[in-house]
Amino acid sequence: MAEQSSSEQRSREHSSEQTSREPRVVVVGGGYGGATVAKELDDVADVTLVEPRDAFVHAVGALRAVVDPDWESRVFLPYDRLLRRGRVVQATAQSVTPHEVRFAAAAGAPPHATGTDWGSRSIPADYLVLATGTAYPFPAKFIETDTWVAQARLVRLREALAACDRVLLVGAGPVGLELAGELLSAFPRLGITIVDQAHDVLTTGDYLPELRSSVRAQLEERGVVFELGAPLGYLPPRDVGLFEPFTVETTAGARVDAQLWFRCYGNRPLTDYLDGPLARARRWSGEVSVTPRLNVEGFETVFAVGDITDVPETKRAASAQAHAGVVAANIRALIEGRDPTATYTPAPELVILPLGTDGGASQLLDEEGVRRVLGPEETRRLKGADLYSGRYAELLGVQG
Ligand SMILES: Cc1cc2nc3c(=O)[nH]c(=O)nc-3n(C[C@H](O)[C@H](O)[C@H](O)COP(=O)(O)OP(=O)(O)OC[C@H]3O[C@@H](n4cnc5c(N)ncnc54)[C@H](O)[C@@H]3O)c2cc1C
């Protein structure tokens, strides 16, 4: 509580200081949520976006880039044209308190990273937005911060896939199933085994049985073998995505021979940088506790959006962007001296799950608000064909 009051006092001091200059908004993390909030506030504040990568990563399209090199330009989108007035600082936030972001610069920070005190490696903030998302194993997400390094890894993976005839996917959630669909679109004769300890596919969301059976039937028709109901006894003794024959067994005794494997589970919130009083808002899961206005619990000028929040919903890019809209409205209101009244209500569970360019299934709400399962043709039309790449090229100001 002491920290909270001193934080409020600091916040009041900052607002009187602010009257003489433009308010400084610092957004930490430039994914779907952070890039959206930064762009929405660019006209009303001095915005700094802190992001270690040299390009926005459109993770929703990442699995198609595994098999199709033409997709790399739709997955890695440069930040240069995101902000008209503000700036993107290529750096990793290492310690974040309510009014300061201390960072480590990424190697080879580019010339567009201007406007920051590189000497002290710190950026002051009147308003702070935390948007650092989650880490997920390659190839759904990348640990590489340089686009050319991530792309080189994709090239090596494609070479390995071309030489491979059996792949193991561990995890029958949306990522494992979508990856299987992409792999089979490009390599129709590839043998794929999907192992999961759960007794069915897609067990982590509130999905209708027809959705599960449709996805499973489409993949089985293409030759995918499901080993469900028992975990692997041990993980393959190889790094993911590297070609080398191996054999593993599930605890139920099913044997899987393959030459490549992928870990398709393990979304981990990236919030280790929260420091001082802000660290108390981090939950055991790594998520950050937020209020309906998406303030970090206990802090009027600190907000969080996207996968790191503890909002009870499936983690989605669309939700991160909806959070961004709420936070941008609230910060704009505070800057203009109004009450911040925008709140976020989680949307009902939905999924659009492509299986390559022409397969898949979706669960959406119809006009009466009833949940409906749609088949491959509608799924291709809604998402499978372009994986929303046009929408995010537009957000980043990249011409198609
Ligand atoms: C294969 C795949 C398919 C998906 N398909 C869909 C879909 O169809 N529809 C949908 O709605 N969602 C989809 N999702 C989920 C979606 O990608 C996430 O929900 C979304 O990325 C969350 O956005 P975010 O802004 O919270 O975080 P991210 O997009 O993960 O962005 C976080 C950013 O923060 C940066 N960062 C991390 N740590 C630091 C730090 N210390 N300092 C500074 N910056 C930092 C990262 O580099 C990253 O750029 C998919 C995810 C995957 C993996």
pLDDT tens digits along 220-260:
999 999 999 999 999 998 889 899 999 999 999 999 999 99
Going from N- to C-terminal start, the domains of the chain cover 2-54+90-135+267-335, 147-266+349-395
In ligand 1, the atom with minimum distance to the C-alpha of 135 is 30
Q: Which of 132, 263, 321, 387 to mutate to test the pocket of ligand 1 (most atoms within 8 A of CB)?
A: 132
26-49 pLDDT, tens digit each: 999 999 999 999 999 999 999 999
* Residue 83 pLDDT > 50: yes
pLDDT band at 1 (very low <50, low <70, confident <90, very high): very low
pLDDT band at 6 (very low <50, low <70, confident <90, very high): very low
CA–centroid distance, 133 to ligand 1, in Å, is: 5
The answer to whether the peptide bond before residue 124 is cis (omega within 30 degrees of 0) is: no
The pLDDT, as a whole number, for residue 104 is: 86
* Residue 161 pLDDT > 60: yes
Q: Which of 39, 79, 315 to mutate to test the pocket of ligand 1 (most atoms within 8 A of CB)?
A: 315
The pLDDT, as a whole number, for residue 369 is: 87
* Residue 296 pLDDT > 50: yes
- φ/ψ of 261, rounded to 5, equals -140, 160
Q: Which residues pair with 290 in a beta bridge?
A: 296
Atom 31 of ligand 1 has which residue's CA nearest to it?
31
Q: Does domain 147-266+349-395 fall into CATH 1.20.120.530?
A: no
* Residue 25 pLDDT > 50: yes
* Residue 386 pLDDT > 70: yes
The pLDDT, as a whole number, for residue 17 is: 54
- Residues 289-294, mean pLDDT to the nearest whole number: 98
The pLDDT, as a whole number, for residue 3 is: 38
CA–centroid distance, 244 to ligand 1, in Å, is: 30
The CB of 222 under 6 Å from ligand 1? The reply is no
- Residues 371-389, mean pLDDT to the nearest whole number: 90
- Residues 157-180, mean pLDDT to the nearest whole number: 97
Q: Cα separation of 280 and 368, whole Å?
A: 42
Judge whether 2-54+90-135+267-335 and 147-266+349-395 match in fold.
Answer: yes
Q: Cα separation of 187 and 360, whole Å?
A: 17
Q: Does domain 2-54+90-135+267-335 fall into CATH 3.50.50.60?
A: yes
Average pLDDT, the chain: 91
310-349 pLDDT, tens digit each: 999 989 999 999 999 999 999 999 999 999 999 999 988 8
* Residue 92 pLDDT > 50: yes
Hey, CA dihedral for 326, 328, 331, 334, is it positive or negative?
Answer: negative
CA–centroid distance, 295 to ligand 1, in Å, is: 20
Hey, CA dihedral for 212, 218, 221, 223, is it positive or negative?
Answer: negative
pLDDT band at 118 (very low <50, low <70, confident <90, very high): low
CA–centroid distance, 59 to ligand 1, in Å, is: 6
The pLDDT, as a whole number, for residue 294 is: 98
The CB of 264 under 6 Å from ligand 1? The reply is no
- Residues 132-149, mean pLDDT to the nearest whole number: 96
The pLDDT, as a whole number, for residue 111 is: 45
The CB of 33 under 6 Å from ligand 1? The reply is yes
Q: What six digits make up the tokens of 45?
A: 């504040």
The CB of 30 under 6 Å from ligand 1? The reply is yes
The CB of 67 under 6 Å from ligand 1? The reply is no
Q: Are 210 and 353 in contact (CB under 8 A)?
A: no
The pLDDT, as a whole number, for residue 41 is: 98
43-57, 278-292, 377-391: least confidently modelled range? 377-391
The pLDDT, as a whole number, for residue 156 is: 96
CA–centroid distance, 214 to ligand 1, in Å, is: 27
